[in-house]
Structure 1
Amino acid sequence: MVSLPIFHQTLLPLLITITTLSLVASDPTDGFTPLSFSNSNIQIQTPYDVPQNQRYSYSNGVHRFWVYSTDKPHTSSSQTAPRSEMRITGYDYSSGVWQFEGHFSVPSGVYGGSLTHYQSATLEQNIYNKWYRFNVIHDVGANNVKIFINGVKKFDGNGRGAGNHYFKCGVYAQNGASNYMESRWRDIKIFRKY
């Protein structure tokens, strides 16, 4: 029988401990407090000229949002592009550090296949037909936004400055939008750092 050197016997448990601590510390929700979230915190926004059930559905815990590039905005007075979104209510904020978490999926063929930050920084490629854990941390005072995909930081940059803020998820047409856009969301949570 071969005996392992004492150095190796000591180092191996230490490496296992360090690896375990690293995995736990990488969760973007560490240090945040989960907030109560229910149907009362959900406001669905869809094109104003069609019934909501023609651009949004909820089944088996999954919120499904879809919109066409030719659709109207969510109100008749809005100058925005077409959207089918969930606006989180009850947690509007103008200071502090806040976090949104949700799992999303995009069906194949809806757009170019890449998730981007304001059509500039690519966060993830080939996103079709898979579920992703999506976390956004907004530090208002530092004017900073961090985006995590499956626990990996994909973006760390400037926010939108001071003002009133809130979270949304769904689909919102942008310049060069495809004819049909869809996303699905589940397990939505809101956190705050105190």
Structure 2
Amino acid sequence: MLLFLVLVCLLKSFNLGEADTTDGFTPVPLTQANFELQRPYNVPLEERYSYEHGIHKLWVYANDKPHDPNSHTQPRTEIRIEGLDYSSGVQQFEGYGFVPNGTSGVTISEIHGASSGATTLILRIYDGNMRYYSGDLVDTGLYDNGLD
């Protein structure tokens, strides 16, 4: 059974105090070797992705093509993390995000490998609010703010 721990820590609404959320975890560095970059198939990578000063920037537009000409999915620009063993144990990922005002329906995080269905978790932004899939509200007022 796949067990995956996702920590969404939005500092403005959740105070961790002095707790260290990384206690008990072993850091695993992520490098370009761990990444599979996907982008609209008809657009050069540098038009949808950049990496400068340790910051990965990805963007996609509603009228973009999917990542593959044979795909029936929505357009995407994403980093898939490869080469790590997710078959057992507990995993933690920490990242920061930014969603510009007016963006809606964007997926912030997606975890595959559910026992039923394709995904265990999807976090999306709708009208500035983060939701679990398109239902349960996780946090509000996230446009033009960093997502911790």
* Residue correspondences, number: 111
Aligned to 1:28: 21
Note the 1:36-55 alignment, pairs <5 A.
36-55=29-48
Q: 1:79 to 1:94 in 2, by over 3 A?
A: farther
What's the TM-score, normalizing by structure 2? 0.66
Computed over aligned residues only, the root mean square deviation of the Cα atoms, in angstroms, reads 1.8
Moved over 4 A (4+): none
The answer to whether 1:130 aligns with 2:145 is yes
- Structure 1 distance, partners of 2:100, 2:53, is 17
Letter of the structure 2 residue corresponding to residue 42 of structure 1: F
Higher strand share: 1
Higher helix share: 1
Aligned to 2:102: 109
Q: Deviations over 1:106-155 (max 9, x none)?
A: 1222221111111111211111222232xxxxxxxxxxxxxxxxxxxxxx
1:92 deviation in Å?
Answer: 4.4
1:88 deviation in Å?
Answer: 0.8
Note the 1:14-93 alignment, pairs <5 A.
23-25=17-19, 27-93=20-86
1:56 deviation in Å?
Answer: 1.6
Gaps of 5+ in 1: 1-21, 134-194
Gaps of 5+ in 2: 1-15, 105-126
Greater CA deviation, 52-61 or 81-90? Answer: 52-61
- Structure 2 distance, partners of 1:92, 1:74, is 25
Letter of the structure 2 residue corresponding to residue 106 of structure 1: V
Aligned to 1:176: none
